[in-house]
Amino acid sequence: MTDSNIIKLTAAQIAEKIASGELTAVEVTEAHLARIEAVDEKVHAFLHVDREGALAQARAVDEKRARGEKLGPLAGVPLALKDIFTTEGVPTTVGSKILEGWIPPYDATLTKRLKAADVVILGKTNMDEFAMGSSTENSAYGPTGNPWDLTKIPGGSGGGSSAALASFQAPLAIGTDTGGSIRQPAAVTGTVGVKPTYGAVSRYGMVAFSSSLDQGGPCARTVLDAALLHEVIAGHDPLDSTSIDAPVPPVVEAARNGSVRGMRVGVVKQFRGEGYQAGVIQRFDESVALLKELGAEIVELDCPSFDLALSAYYLIAPSECSSNLARFDGLRYGLRTGDDGGHSAEEVTSLTREAGFGPEVKRRIMLGTYALSSGYYDAYYGSAQKVRTLITRDFEKAFEQVDVIVSPTTPTTAFAIGERADDPMAMYLADLCTIPTNLAGNAAMSLPCGLAPEDNLPVGLQIIAPAMQDDRLYKVGAAVEAAFVEKWGHPLLEEAPSL
């Protein structure tokens, strides 16, 4: 097979061909490395490409197969890893100057699980600094372009991972989702992104932004590929105190047997209205009609507290960020500025943070520190946590009536790079539909549901399931994906943008 054919294969197809001997892992890895070399100068999906490490992992897979050892379901499949997970011997910057050049001495649990499954890690992808943003414009190393239109954003904070998928530089990727940073990039790039139930994927070795919200998850071009990756990375980890000690839901089985017949699907009235692009609503309404055609019962839902989710999130997340980022003091690791013998430790810390943190990180640290300060804690952070409880209760009431909830993933398609850079509130509104799920800890997926007629850019359909019912996402997602492909073709695989 030619390189151009190899890079268009799904992860499941690649694994099957490697297991059968039709392709070697080295051939597959070299094809993707060649693609990165050819297009990433324009896309800027990667911050670091580990060519030698990837080829060594690929050779190890081929040697296992030559010895007759059984290969896992994703053995030899290349993957792009968001630069927020520590990787032994490979730079981890979290998109920030404050960690420029830092080489971790250990692997995150997720990284270990990928390696144990013989997944080939191509390198680390670009992201908004410390995962704070919705466009990947907050990276200290420059923005990433959306492969559908390089003048548009690829989403954030995991825009590098979504762009790597959409530009065929990798068939699989890993993202993290604090307020929508897996699902929103998936929506605007025509790919699949899943936020597992909070605690389902270990956070050990994932650089923290907001500890009660952060969750790693799979990114792919198909629902089945996402399920295969989900099964690899999920599971209890004693090194993470928030890790759920329970079996991983049967996500792969659900993805292989997608169906919505007899299911009750909820549509929340708060997830539409002012600020929603006409083409996004059109594609969403078509998706709801399709679900009905496939045998689902559509139930209208009213979740009034969802209108308060954005405000609550932007108190809780910055508060936790101000606490987590206090460790970056210029004294222990990473950047150190002003250590010339003429400054005190406090001055070195101040100078380092001034030089190392970008504007959005500083903004959120200041917001969070203020919200946690004496006299304001109860009024701001405490009140936001009460709203979080109300949102969780609204979800609980909703899931008494329905099996899953659907909504647009984002109110609009991809906006232009720079369009919202000076308007933080407009930027924050990109996560309007995704934030409630993070606050409640539920599972959610975004998958493509066509292109918006006014700009021919991808639109995402969000599916939300109760905690630890992640398999429902894949059951519904696979059914919708199959129906879409039959009716209109896969929006990415059939109408892939030209680079």
Tokens of 37: 């070399």
Instruction: At 273, list the tokens.
Output: 């209205």
Classify 323 in phi/psi space as left (phi over 0), alpha (psi -120 to 50) or beta.
alpha
- Write down the pLDDT at residue 333: 83
Compute the distance between CA of residue 314 and CA of residue 265 in angstroms, rounded to an integer. Answer: 29
For 66-160, strand residue ranges (E) read 78-82, 120-125
Which CATH number is 3-302+397-495 given?
Answer: 3.90.1300.10
The tokens of 102 are what? 């830092």
**Nearest Cα to Cα of residue 30 among 10, 64, 12, 56:** 56
Give the pLDDT confidence score for residue 497 in this predicted structure: 67
What residues contact residue 10 under an 8 Å CB cut-off, 6+ apart? 171, 220, 221, 222, 224, 225
Q: What is the pLDDT of residue 494?
A: 54
Q: Are 313 and 439 in contact (CB under 8 A)?
A: yes
How long a stretch of residues is the chain? 499
Please give the backbone phi and psi of residue 124, each rounded to the nearest 5 degrees, phi first. -110, 135
| Distance from C-alpha of 182 to C-alpha of 158, rounded to nearest angstrom | 6
Run means of pLDDT, 10 residues per run, the chain, 499 residues: 93 97 98 97 98 98 96 97 98 96 96 98 98 96 96 96 97 98 97 98 97 97 98 98 97 97 97 93 97 97 96 96 94 89 92 95 95 89 96 98 98 96 87 96 96 95 98 98 83 60
Q: Regarding beta strands 264-268 and 404-408, do their DSSP bridges make them parallel or antiparallel, or are they unpaired? A: parallel
Q: What pLDDT, on a 0 to 100 scale, did the predictor assign at position 488?
A: 72
Angle, in degrees to the nearest 10, between helices 470-488 and 223-233: 160
Q: For residue 348, which amino acid is it?
A: V
Whether the upstream peptide bond of residue 157 has omega within 30° of 0, thus cis, is yes
Using CA atoms, how far residue 189 sits from 169, 221, 450, in Å, is 14, 10, 11
The residues carrying an active-site annotation are 82, 157, 181
For residue 53, give every residue at least 6 positions away whose Cβ sits within 8 Å of its Cβ, in sequence order, or none. 89, 90, 121
- Is residue 361 within 8 A of residue 132, CB to CB? The reply is yes
How far apart CA 189 and CA 191 sit, in angstroms, is: 6
pLDDT at 491: 58
Q: What is the DSSP letter of 234?
A: B
Contacts of residues 244-251 at CB distance under 8 Å and 24 or more positions apart, as own/partner, are 244/197, 244/199, 244/200, 244/468, 246/468, 248/200, 249/468, 249/469, 249/470, 249/471, 250/471, 251/227, 251/470, 251/471, 251/473, 251/474
Half-sphere exposure at residue 211, Cβ-oriented, CA atoms within 13 angstroms = 12
Residue 330, token pair as written in the block: 């210029």
* pLDDT given at position 425: 85
Give the β-pairing of 216-220 and 172-176.
antiparallel
pTM of the model: 0.96
pLDDT score recorded for residue 424: 85
Predicted local distance difference test score (pLDDT) of residue 140: 97
Residue 487 pLDDT: 78
Q: What is the pLDDT of residues 480-492, one digit of tens each?
A: 999 988 877 665 5
Count CB atoms within 10 A of the CB of residue 401. Answer: 12
Task: Kindly tell me the burial class for residue 245, based on how many C-beta atoms sit within 10 Å of its own C-beta (0-12, 13-18, 19 or more).
Answer: exposed
Query: Where along the chain do its domains lie?
Result: 3-302+397-495
The token pair that represents 291 in the structure block: 């679900």
